Amino acid sequence: MPANGQVSPPRAIPALVSLPRPLYARAESLGAGSWTPAHRHDWAQFSYAISGVLGVHTDEGNFFAPPQWGIWIPAGVEHKVVTSMRAEMRSLYVRRDESPWLTQHCKVLEVTPLARELIKGFCELPHEYPAGDTAQARLVQVLLDQLAVLPEVAFSLPLPREHRLLALCNELIAAPDQTTTLTQWAGRLGTSEKTLMRLFQRETGLSFRAWRQRMRLLSSLQALEKGDSVTTAALNNGYESTSAFIAAFKGLFGFTPGEL
């Protein structure tokens, strides 16, 4: 079962051995609690949320795409794709040799208006679109060029590999409203606060405070999506003040909970 506890049957993964063209599209309407088992494939994937919030879980962290954002998954990276509520997803599969990024790390990208229209147009083409010097092949090249310049955003939650720290993070993810301090965590782990701070920074690239705030804000996305009020989402994710929650939310995502 995936990390967010959904119990619906797993979503089928296309049985593709190879891609018929450099770019391949899938358009899907996903139900609440949709999920895939952990899998990997020999091509990169860009999953774009038209509506709903997509989640991609990997060993290195969790990545979330609100509407109009997408998640880049490099070829060969094991991942699960989940949605807490209904979502409209467009996925692009990209051959390794056509990939616009030579990276082994997932990233969340903002989909520009031009890229959005190109994806929309490409999804209307047949899987074996005309190759060579054709209008369809030129559209594909323009789309790949646009994917290469999409801006990256910080809608990801890096996970540590150190087993004690990973257990701590998983406990925080399970109960984002808990108020255990770093000093208390250090006591539980039998180390000093300074040592734990250094370990957290080294393993996640974020301070404990920054990591916990990002975790709480990302957790609140799913609460808001399923219809919780802003106040409820704030309180259930560790914020005592709705105004502080709204300010932090806008600081990370660039829009308010109400605008989402």
| 102 and 172 belong to one structural domain | no
| 146 and 27 belong to one structural domain | yes
Q: Which of residues 108, 123, 153 is at a domain's end?
A: 153
Residue 232, domain CATH: 1.10.10.60
% of the chain exceeding 70 in pLDDT:
97
pLDDT of residue 1: 31
Domain contains 134 = yes
Q: How confident is the model at residue 139 (pLDDT cuts 50, 70, 90)?
A: very high
Q: What is the per-residue pLDDT across 29-69, written as a single tens digit (0 to 9) for each?
A: 888 788 889 999 999 999 988 888 888 999 989 999 888 89
Q: Which of residues 120, 153, 186 is at a domain's end?
A: 153
| 128 and 230 belong to one structural domain | no
| 32 and 143 belong to one structural domain | yes
| 132 and 210 belong to one structural domain | no
* Higher pLDDT among residues 2 and 21, named by residue: 21
Res. 199: pLDDT tops 80: yes
What is the average pLDDT across 102-110? Answer: 87
| 118 and 231 belong to one structural domain | no
Res. 148: pLDDT tops 80: yes
| Residue pair 34/83 in contact by the 8 Å Cβ criterion | yes
Q: What is the per-residue pLDDT across 162-198, written as a single tens digit (0 to 9) for each?
A: 888 999 999 999 899 998 898 999 998 889 999 999 9
**Beta pairing class for 43-51 and 87-95:** antiparallel
H-helix segments, the chain: 113-123, 135-147, 163-174, 182-189, 193-204, 208-225, 230-236, 242-253
Instruction: Measure the N-to-C terminal CA separation of the chain; round to a whole number of Å.
Output: 28
| Residue pair 150/112 in contact by the 8 Å Cβ criterion | yes
pLDDT of residue 13: 80
Helix 208-225 vs helix 242-253: crossing angle, to nearest 10: 100
pLDDT of residue 213: 95
Q: What is the extent of the structural domain holding 187?
A: 159-253
Q: What is the per-residue pLDDT across 200-231, written as a single tens digit (0 to 9) for each?
A: 999 999 999 999 999 999 999 888 877 889 99
Q: How high does pLDDT run on average in the chain?
A: 89
Number of domains into which the chain is organized: 2
| 124 and 183 belong to one structural domain | no
CB-count exposure of residue 15 (10 Å: 0-12, 13-18, 19+):
exposed
| 63 and 82 belong to one structural domain | yes
Domain contains 18 = no
| 146 and 219 belong to one structural domain | no
Res. 4: pLDDT tops 50: no
| 133 and 190 belong to one structural domain | no
pLDDT of residue 6: 46
Model pTM above 0.85? no
Domain contains 66 = yes
| 221 and 119 belong to one structural domain | no
pLDDT of residue 7: 56
